[in-house]
Amino acid sequence: MYLPMDSQTIRSFVQEHETDDEPPDPRQDDEPPSPSLTCLSTHSSFHVSALSAEASCQAVLPSLCNSKTQDFRHRFYPGLPDARWNSWHWQLQNRICTPTALSRFLDLSLEEMGVFAELKTKLPLGVTPYYMSLLHGSAPGHPLRRTVVPTVHEFFKLPGEENDPLGEEGHTQMPGLVHRYPDRVLLLVSGFCSTYCRYCTRSRLVGRGKIYPSRSRLEKAIDYIRNTPTIRDVLLSGGDPLTLSDAKLDWILGRIREIPHVEIIRIGTKVPAVLPQRVTPELVRVLRKYHPLWMSLHFTHPEECTPEAYDACAMLADAGIPLGSQTVLLKGINDDVATMKALMHQMMRMRVKPYYLYQCDPVAGSGHFRTSVARGLEIIRGLRGHTSGYAVPTYVIDAPGGGGKIPLLPNYVVSSSDAGVVLENYENRLFTYPNPVGCPDGGCGSDNGVEGYI
């Protein structure tokens, strides 16, 4: 809910949170960027050119064919060549990072203006022009707008909220390397994202210049992995790893793949949703060299599932990269069954397996994003049985303080006894599953009084 607030009230929210930090240079990278301007691929049915041919696109996927991005470009970037708009370098260089730039595209509410009236936010503002095209002209309560445009609510810290809610600092072996689970590590390769999510669990780090992709730091982290033979799984995250250059990613992945005991490498990214232009044939050629390579994609709302996102996911999937989704449950954004089901269905069509539905981490200032756990369980109950099993993610809480992910399920067991278990299905009907009474653990057969197998 967006209530008008006077300037004195706004000032009281933010006066103790002033900061002079700026978002870092998007190329905190030792490698020079590619000088070429790369367009989206043309291999899939959902190439960006479909936006200029809406009628033909509607025959392929009616729900995704709208003119938002096309209209946005005509209004704010008239005459800009397709090659420029479709260049991920151009998108990064023209990110919306200031209140002045933001107000060019949006009529800011008092709650949004209040953030910038006295300070620069703790988590920087950063939105790609592409992603801005999806929320241009929206009201302050628009789902995508709420995820990336800061408000004064970020300065309310509720009981139980922490800057490091998952206790990652306590499991950090060296800068940017978190070793919480015995057989896997989290390597934060960069602190930069093309677009910053306002509910980010690492808002204490990202966009603050605290994590740079320097070779010296990464070499030390890779040496730790090499010298710890129990590690079989390495997750690259940040920040967003895919904002690094192809050459830097090639070097990182190559160095990790040289380690014999590392079985799989995973990459966590929101690029297909906020910067699909980054997924180029050149990038895919790098990634496919290092199989088995998995990718976890962060999608939040069905409106992110655009033709450009479809194209990016198709390129990754065609390269043999298994894709899974990690969606955060967010109040007023995707916390109803219809929205969540639509998102899961879109991701399935993009060849992205719904993997985790996260309860929003209690990071400081996240209270306006967090739902009750009961709401999350209600959504899972509304999905299970009502759609494909593949489309139902695992609902988890990443336990505060470093306890790891704990799965949650609605209670489908009504009662149990030696005779059997009474279960409730998705239609709220009761069924009894019989226990094998009198049947020893070794199995039932004619030698223990049973006449034979059915």
193 noted as active-site residue: yes
193 assigned to a ligand binding site? yes
Q: How confident is the model at residue 53, as a pLDDT?
A: 30
Q: How confident is the model at residue 210, as a pLDDT?
A: 83
pTM of the shown model: 0.82
361 noted as active-site residue: yes
More confident residue, 33 or 253: 253
187-221 pLDDT tens trace: 999 999 999 999 998 888 888 888 889 999 999 99
294 touches 262 (CB < 8 A): no
212 noted as active-site residue: no
Rounded to the nearest integer, the mean pLDDT of the chain is: 84
48-79 pLDDT tens trace: 333 333 333 332 333 334 479 999 999 999 99
Q: How confident is the model at residue 166, as a pLDDT?
A: 86
Of 27, 120, 202, 381, catalytic = 202
Residue 236 has a CB neighbour count (10 Å cut-off) of 26
183 noted as active-site residue: no
Of 197, 305, 313, 360, catalytic = 197
**What does the block give as tokens for 202?**
């690492």
Contact partners, residue 415, CB within 8 Å, separation at least 6: 421, 422
Tokens 């967006």 locate to 2
Among residues 259, 281, 257, which one has the least CA distance to residue 267?
A: 257
Of 2, 77, 181, 426, catalytic = 181
Q: What are phi and psi of 450, to 5 degrees?
A: -95, 135
Q: Where are the domains of the chain?
A: 7-155, 168-408, 413-448
**Three-state SS at 268:** strand
130 noted as active-site residue: no
Q: How confident is the model at residue 121 (pLDDT cuts 50, 70, 90)?
A: low
> 3-state SS of the chain: helix, strand, coil percent to 5?
35, 15, 45
Of 39, 57, 65, 193, catalytic = 193
Architecture of domain 168-408: Alpha-Beta Barrel (3.20)
197 noted as active-site residue: yes
| 15, HSE (Cβ side, Cα atoms, 13 Å) | 6
405 noted as active-site residue: yes
Mean pLDDT of 402-407: 90
Of 146, 361, 370, 381, catalytic = 361
360 assigned to a ligand binding site? no
39 assigned to a ligand binding site? no
Rounded Cα–Cα distance for residues 105 and 121 (Å): 19
Q: How confident is the model at residue 290, as a pLDDT?
A: 98
57 noted as active-site residue: no
21 noted as active-site residue: no
